[in-house]
Chain A
Amino acid sequence: MYSEQKLGIGLLFNPALPQFLETRPESFDYLEVIPDREWADRGVHGSPRFLLLEQSLEFLERSRERKPMLCHSIGLSIGSAAIFDSGHVEQIRWLHQKLDFAWHSDHLSFSRLPQDLAAAGNGPEMHAAISLPVPYDQQVLQLIAERVRYIRAVIDCQFLLENNVYYAAIPEEEMSEAEFLNRLCQVSGCGILLDLHNLYVNSRNHGISMEAFLRDIDLRHIVEIHVAGGDELLGFYTDSHAGPVAEPVWELLDETLRAAPWIRAVTFEFHESSYPLLKTEGIAAQLARARRIWERHC
């Protein structure tokens, strides 16, 4: 059984953050890292496949001595029908042995495909360069559940999947997103990383009801929450992680933690290009606001 310990308020690591981490260690309780940014992945046939970015990795090793760490990968593409990358899973396991993550998460989506469907896993790949939604169908649920079980068997820590953003809706799905996530957790043993900003983005763009989602999702499965901001593009609202947390997301955080005080961590995500806008005090203010809500309920 994995530890149930609460971590508190954390930050998603990006290259703009090292100075903040050194100067404001009291403002966050843990660091979440994107492992795929710690190496150059030269493809399944690369030898060696993963070229480590030593300086960045050394920085994380030093940071790990001071704070707990979470792993949030972006390269698994767990929803790809034709590709499942056990080499990527092995690489995460290697990093987990080094940094001892409290848990590991990735996205309920797909981004990688074979260039030639007939060659499937053996030929070169293409990358969608965007995280795309999978249809919430029984067939997809079975496919992903099997992969979750594999990941959980290989990497010795809890595994979470994050609810995804989508811009073009897939019609005629067999399940709602909440129902899909509930059933996936039941059959595969994964937990949920609930990105409240992603939920807000989908609500803004497609009119889905956030209240209905939060009513239907089984809150017992939620382990971690992401909060972030976004901006407008071509008449849509996007999950760009620009600047501070979107105001309605703070309200959602308050409601969610009130209803589910067992949630173990709340992570603030921002893109490094927003650092000049936020600066040290802006980041500290976002973390402090998250902490006030956390302390009210958790």
Chain B
Amino acid sequence: MALDAFQDIFCRMIASADYRARLIDNPEAEFDQHDLDAREKRRLTAMASHPGMRINTAIHRANRLTPLDQTLPLTCFLLGSRLGALLDRYWHCNPTENLQLPAECARFADFIVDELQSGRLADPFVGEVLAFERACTELRFFSAEELASRTETQPRLPAKVRVLHFQHDPEPLLEALSELKPPPENLAEGDFHLAVDARSDEAVFRLLDPVAAAALLGSRNAL
């Protein structure tokens, strides 16, 4: 009897409807790879076809969305009706989950960046909003020492400060998204720099003028 193998298959059937369909079609092909006794095989076969498995999958998906919604809410809102298909693809590529907020945020952010770079996803705002929310999540969940040791940290800034580059005026953009409104029309375009300073409990956001941005990115002690 192998309770661990039983639990592994039970869990994979919930995470992937394709896997469950394969198990229904040809259970022995999957069972042969595991140390399962006859009762466990009968149990898994019956559970694979149980109508309640659809609910398990629906709850699993809702719960997988939670860490993304908590860390990247504006990005999720911006993606709107495209989010469902993107999540299908993301979860298909990443069938397992650890639900740890910063890790899950980073993994989904990498996926979206890849979608943007490959041209499968086209959106003028998603890239910069995603980078902003990802930075806020990292500043929130990692200590100054950990941030300082990361290669992607901006080397001339304190570890708990990031300067994010936007191609649209970030203040009206982020304000609209926070109120669940689409980006305003006629948003000013150009090079904008938003400083996120998380050195105290509440993060402070400040839009920098070009001179200040150049000075900040050029001097560690300027803030």
Residues of chain A touching chain B, judged by Cβ–Cβ distance below 8 Å, are 40-43, 51, 54-55, 80-82, 110, 113-115, 117, 120, 124-130, 132, 135, 139-140, 143, 166-172, 205, 233-236, 238
Contacts and interface: CB of A to CB of B under 8 A. Distances in A.
Contacts of A51: 141-143
B222 interface: no
Contacts of B97: 126-129
Given A126-B97, A128-B97, A167-B53, 14 more contacts: A40-B102, A42-B100, A43-B103, A117-B5, A124-B98, A127-B98, A129-B59, A130-B59, A132-B56, A140-B3, A167-B50, A168-B52, A171-B46, A205-B52
Interface in B43-65: 43, 46-47, 50-56, 58-61, 63-64
A125 B5 CA distance: 14
A135 B101 CA distance: 30
Of the listed residues B11, B63, B141, the one surrounded by the most CB atoms of chain A closer than 10 A to its CB is B11
Given A167-B55, A170-B43, A113 B11 contact: yes
A168 B58 CA distance: 13
A168 B60 contact: no
Chain B, interface SS category: helix
Contacts of A120: 4
A7 B101 CA distance: 34
A43 B43 contact: no
B55 A171 contact: no
Contacts of A113: 4, 7-8, 11
Interface in B143-163: 143
Contacts of A205: 52
B135 to A, nearest CB: 16
A10 to B, nearest CB: 25
Of the listed residues B5, B55, B58, B101, the one surrounded by the most CB atoms of chain A closer than 10 A to its CB is B55
Interface string B114-139: 00000000000000000000000000
